[in-house]
Structure 1
């Protein structure tokens, strides 16, 4: 039996926060590691962010902790409509997604949509692209697809 993604290796867990500096420091202290520098996602002209099929100006501050085999991503969204902002408003701080590195983004999105997991948000980043698929009804968390340029 082959899975829908072609992998079962979780590469990242994403957590939504209201104050990235405060929560980054808390994780750094908890694990005894250096606090990462937060970055801000690209503007629309580069990121080409789409949320529920519409262009979105949404941006977020991100901080990454490399935790051995997986990465912990903290996300502090801006006020614009996005999967991050909506989820934070509806559910408060906490886990948002689990991410997998895949190949063939368009095909994977089509396959998942055909199985009843609609695309919620997608965009570009330096070196690749991402897509959040709405797997919450069945998996209780979003699945993020990450495709890195070769």
Structure 2
């Protein structure tokens, strides 16, 4: 078994107003920001609400040691929208880079973690979110970058 939660890739923060948040970070010298690269079609794409997922807006910045992702959920029902409505702005998930998406998902499932959303592309890249909020304080995600 590998350890899927070893290499932190990003911290995702849910915000009410993406443009306002980016402007604030830029005023602190944090940037440049770029749109989340939603590259390639998924062979497998299992999310609670596809329309809400596609309507979310993201901006990212690569720091020296980690990426920050800002997420503005749409008004449509999604885990991110429910988090924002219940808790306000804040860290929604931690994303960990893995060498093998399928193996990391299997290893996390073997640890007893339930999958809440997942996606996989033909090149093996993709993601899986796990139901860890009540135990870890945040959602944990694994991802394989193309």
| TM-score category (smaller protein) | 0.7 to 0.9
Which residue number in structure 2 is paired with residue 72 of structure 1? 68
Which residue number in structure 2 is paired with residue 29 of structure 1? 27
Return the offset for 1:110. 2.5
State TM-score, norm by structure 2: 0.79
> 5+ unaligned residues in a row in structure 2: which ranges?
none
State TM-score, norm by structure 1: 0.78
* Residues 124-148 of structure 1: per-residue CA shift (max 9 Å, x gap): 57x7312111222221111111112
Counterpart Cα distance in 1 of 2:16 and 2:73: 8
Return the offset for 1:51. 2.3
Which residue number in structure 2 is paired with residue 130 of structure 1? 127
* Residues 99-139 of structure 1: per-residue CA shift (max 9 Å, x gap): 111122223222222322211112357x7312111222221
Counterpart Cα distance in 1 of 2:133 and 2:35: 27
* Residues 63-85 of structure 1: per-residue CA shift (max 9 Å, x gap): 11111110110001123333322
Which residue number in structure 1 is paired with residue 50 of structure 2? 56
- List structure 1 segments (4+ residues) > 3 angstroms apart after TM superposition: 37-42, 45-49
> Larger relative CO (CA 8 A, sep 6+): 1 or 2?
2
> 5+ unaligned residues in a row in structure 1: which ranges?
none
RMSD over aligned CA atoms reads 2.8
